Amino acid sequence: MFSAGKWFIKIVTSWLIYEPDIPPNAPSLTNFERLSDEIRPGDVILIEGRSRVSNIIRQITQSPWTHSALYLGNYHQLNVAGIASKSLAHFASTPHTNLIIEALLGEGTIVAPLSKYRKEHIRICRPRTLTINDRNKVIQHLLNRLGNQYNIRQLLDLARFLFPYSLIPRRWRSSLFLYRTGESTKTICSSMLAEAFMSIRYPVLPVVAHTDEGLRFYRRNTKLFTPKDFDYSPYFDIIKYPFIGLDEVAAYRTLPWDEDGYVCNTHGDCYIPIANSDTKSVPTQGE
């Protein structure tokens, strides 16, 4: 009976994570080279997934962002920071391979190269003013979760919770996400990241209330977090690297440089350096 249950879950998981191949002529919307050059450890990465489970999450959350991961940096950076275990080196082909940590259906919490999402539409959410020490604590918190299983039950509860009240009675909604034995080692991608930031009391989307003592921040149930919450949070800066960026046409290329070849020592003292020839003075205004 137990084996039959595991077999059924495996079949359902395989169906959910199925992802169609990208058409050869479909360009990515993200400039991956520039993103890889400018991304920082501690950045949250949002991915617009294409699997069946991604389509379900998209319908539930009404957002294109269906998966989230945290950028760790490379093994060399983590080793210098003193938070890289020896086993982490096995996830990188070189000490400078860019690494992420994520929770995936069918795989659990894993470390993978950033390059696996080269062809995907990606957005970066950067925690504003996060200190290096706290950033390392967030990364260490997540590295301690390596190998944890993906919580399919939490995904189903989240779907039920986000349904309209007319479909799910309120008394049922209040009983969702109750602690269950053995589930402390299970998570989903966005909940795992929210827990890591809450471990250093960094806000993502806290519940804010007015009290007699003034504003009060309350911890939001991390099991309610979805990828879009990092996009929506006022405490994260949104950074995009479009495939064709409008800022790639550098302004310095349009400056009105002299085209005659004059070289100046200072204002009014200019000449054209021509070998074996008399120098020619720069014309002044009115000549």
pLDDT tens digits, one per residue of 107-139: 889 999 999 999 888 999 999 999 999 999 999
Q: What is the DSSP letter of 20?
A: P
pLDDT over threshold 80, residue 101: yes
What secondary structure does DSSP assign to 128-194, as a single string?
TT--HHHHHHHHHHHHTTTTPEE-HHHHHHHHHHHS-TTTS-HHHHTTTT---TTGGGEE-HHHHHH
Lowest mean pLDDT among 116-125, 154-163, 187-196: 154-163
Identify the bridge partners of residue 108 per DSSP, sorted by sequence position: 104
Helix (H) or strand (E) segment spanning residue 207: strand 207-211
> Residue 24 pLDDT > 70, yes or no?
no
Q: Which amino acid is at 175?
A: S
Q: Reduced to 3 states, what is the DSSP secondary structure of residue 246?
A: helix
- For residue 286, the model assigns a pLDDT of 46
Task: Out of 3.90.1720.10, 3.40.50.2000, 2.40.290.10, 1.10.3720.10, select the CATH number for domain 2-17+27-243.
Answer: 3.90.1720.10
What is the C-alpha to C-alpha distance for residues 165 and 156, in angstroms, rounded to an integer? Answer: 16
Domain with CATH 3.90.1720.10 in the chain: 2-17+27-243
List the alpha helices (DSSP H) in 41-163: 52-61, 75-80, 132-143, 152-162
Distance between CA 261 and CA 273 in Å, rounded? 8
